[in-house]
Amino acid sequence: MLLHFKRQRNHIYVRRQEETNIFLLHLVSLPNIEKSHNSLFSITISTTPTPYAILDLHFSPHDPFLLAVAGSTGCLQLFRFSAATTALEPLSTYQFFDPAILALSLAWHPIDANKLGVTASDGGVYIVDTTVRVEEATGTPNQILEHELEAWTLVFSHNASTIYSGGDDASLRFSTLATSESQEEEEIFTPIQWQDRQSHQAGVTAILPLATEENILITGSYDDNIRILHAPLMGRKQILAEENLEGGVWRLKLLYQDSQARS
């Protein structure tokens, strides 16, 4: 089951309807608990069926009502949340990959609202563009990195100048990305890339860079450990701390006490 919170009062989860093998995308709208204190309140559930399993989903940081979903048939689909009806409206479905390839995770580009990073079961780490025509989407993803086994997760740095990915090959990988400035100046861009195979004993399934700490990452793995890594551009990567959580670590979210802060 996937869970994603939106604006602290809504969350989405996914389940399969066994008898029909249809996957159901549920939006649960919660009331304002503070205003509902000591009074009865209702919970609204909106259900949207999908013909594919959902491996990941995220609301856009550029548009809080726009949701992207990664599908098991190599597709990425967009939905729009309606505050008036508390329902999800299906938008475009992009068949970026062969249907035999699973889109395993996604991340919105932090600067370009039309682009997302996607990892796939073929080991590839891609950037896709939703401005392409839907019928021409197949074959358009731009591959940035490649794992030897399934690529489980990816994350952009906060200024979109770099990207990290983790795969079933127990490796953490990194690449610099071309910036808009270099593209405007028509410079020949040569990415700097590295891979770390020493820090994890199983697949790397979650990565969280810290915006306030240069070269510091928090990672999760299904070797049951959460780790804090020092991962400089050049040189050895070092484990600063680790903790066995007695279960695979598949998702990491940074929480702030300050409700105005953004991760």
Mean pLDDT by 10 residues, the chain (263 residues): 53 56 66 53 72 94 95 96 84 97 98 97 98 97 98 96 97 92 68 96 96 92 97 94 96 69 44
Cα 158 from Cα 160, distance rounded (Å): 6
Q: How far apart are CA 22 and CA 63, in angstroms?
A: 28
In a domain, 231, yes or no: no
- Write down the pLDDT at residue 257: 45
pTM of the model: 0.85
pLDDT at 30: 60
Q: Which amino acid is residue 50, in one-letter code? A: T
| Assigned domain for 49 exists | yes
For residue 235, being part of any structural domain is answered with no
Residue 164 lies in a domain: yes
Q: Find the CATH number of the domain harbouring 34.
A: 2.130.10.10
CA 87, 57, 26, 21 torsion-angle sign: positive
In a domain, 96, yes or no: yes
Task: Give the per-residue pLDDT at 260.
Answer: 46
State which residues form the domain around 12: 3-180
Whether residue 169 lies inside any domain: the answer is yes
Dist CA 2 CA 12 (whole Å) = 8
Q: Which phi and psi angles does 260 have, rounded to 5°? A: -90, -10
221 found inside a domain: no
Q: Find out whether 52 and 71 touch, Cβ atoms under 8 Å.
A: yes
Give the model's pLDDT for residue 236.
92
pLDDT of residue 86: 76
For residue 205, tell me if it sits in a domain. Answer: no
Would you call 135 helix, strand, or coil by DSSP? helix
Number of domains the chain is built from: 1
Q: Which two tokens stand for residue 119?
A: 């990892």
User: How far, in Å, CA of 122 to CA of 69, rounded?
Assistant: 18
The pLDDT assigned to 29 comes to 62
| Residue 140 contacts residue 131 (beta carbons within 8 Å) | no
